[in-house]
Amino acid sequence: MSLPPRLPVILCLVVAAGAHGQPALRVVPATDGSCVGVSARDGKPLYFAGTSGLDAIAIPEVSGAEGTLSFFFTPDWSPGDCTTHWLLDLKGDKLLIGFRKGYSAAISPDYCYVQTDPEGGLIGFSSEPLFRARQRHHYAIRWSAAKNRIQFVVDGEASGRSGKYKYDGPARLPATLTFYNMACGTFDDVRVYPRYLTVPEIVQVAGLKEPARYLQEQPPPRGAERPGRPIGASGTSAPTPSSASC
C-alpha cells in the first residue's frame, strides 16, 4: 500500500498542571497549518480520572464542513465495567462532535456513541472490540458534509461505525475541545485536522504499517511506564475502582 507524503509532526509541548490538579492545556499549530495539536505543558500524556469535572481549551479555528479528530487513548477500563465514560468533544457554532462509552449509567453503559451534531444526533456501536484496559490505541473521528458521513476509526480500521453527517454552519469557526474526567484514561498526541483524512493518512498518523484487523496495541507514550496514571503525567488522581455490576 502506498502512503501519502509524510504528515508533519506536531511537537506537543507540556508545561505544568493547572489548578486543582487539572492539566494546563495549550494549542500547538503545525508550522504548515495542516493541523493543530492539543497538549499539556510538560511533554507528558494527559491523564483524566474521576466521576465529574472536565478540562477544556479554545481552538481558534476548526473546519465544520470536514475534519478529523485524531488521538491516542489508554483506558483504565475494559468493556463490561458497566460504567459511562465520556471521553471528549469538539464544540462550536452548529458543531458538536464527541465520543462517549455508555449513554448513561442506566442505559447501554457498554455501548459506544459518537455525537454528530448539537441536536442530539448519535451513531452507536459495541465497545467490546475497541478498548482494552492499559492498552494504548489510536482513534480518529472523521467527518465530511460533502460525503454526508461521520466515522469512528480504530487503529486505521475504518469499516462500519459510521453515520450521516450534516452541517450548515460556517466553513471555519472557533471551537472548544473538552476532555472529561469520566474518561478514566490517558490521552496523547491529540490533533485536529481541517480535512477528512484518508485511511492511509490515518494509518501513517497512528504509526501503523497497515489498517488493523484486530486491535494493535501501541507502544506506551513517554511517562506511561506503569498502569493507571502515567508517571509524572498531568492530570487528576487515579480513580476509585467501581463496584458497579450490570
Read off the pLDDT of residues 131-156 as tens digits, 9 standing for 90 and up.
999 999 999 999 999 999 999 999 99
Q: Using CA atoms, how far apart are residues 115 and 117, in angstroms rounded to an integer?
A: 6
Give the pLDDT band of residue 24 (cuts 50, 70, 90).
confident
The mean of the pLDDT values for the chain is 80
The number of helices, as runs of H, and strands, as runs of E, in the chain is 1, 15
Pairing of strands 36-39, 46-48: unpaired
Inter-residue contact 110 to 195 (CB < 8 Å): no
Lowest mean pLDDT among 137-141, 153-157, 215-219, 233-237: 233-237
- pLDDT cut 90: percent of the chain above it: 52
Inter-residue contact 16 to 8 (CB < 8 Å): no
Query: What is the value of pTM for the model shown?
Result: 0.80
Inter-residue contact 27 to 36 (CB < 8 Å): yes
Q: What is the pLDDT of residue 18?
A: 36
Give the pLDDT band of residue 215 (cuts 50, 70, 90).
low
| Region for residue 108 given its phi and psi (left: phi exceeds 0; alpha: psi -120 to 50; beta: otherwise) | left
Mean pLDDT of 24-42: 84
The CATH number of 44-220, from 3.40.50.720, 3.40.50.620, 2.40.30.10, 2.60.120.200, is 2.60.120.200
Q: Closest Cα partner for 35 from 141, 190, 199, 177?
A: 190
Q: Using CA atoms, how far apart are residues 67 and 65, in angstroms rounded to an integer?
A: 7
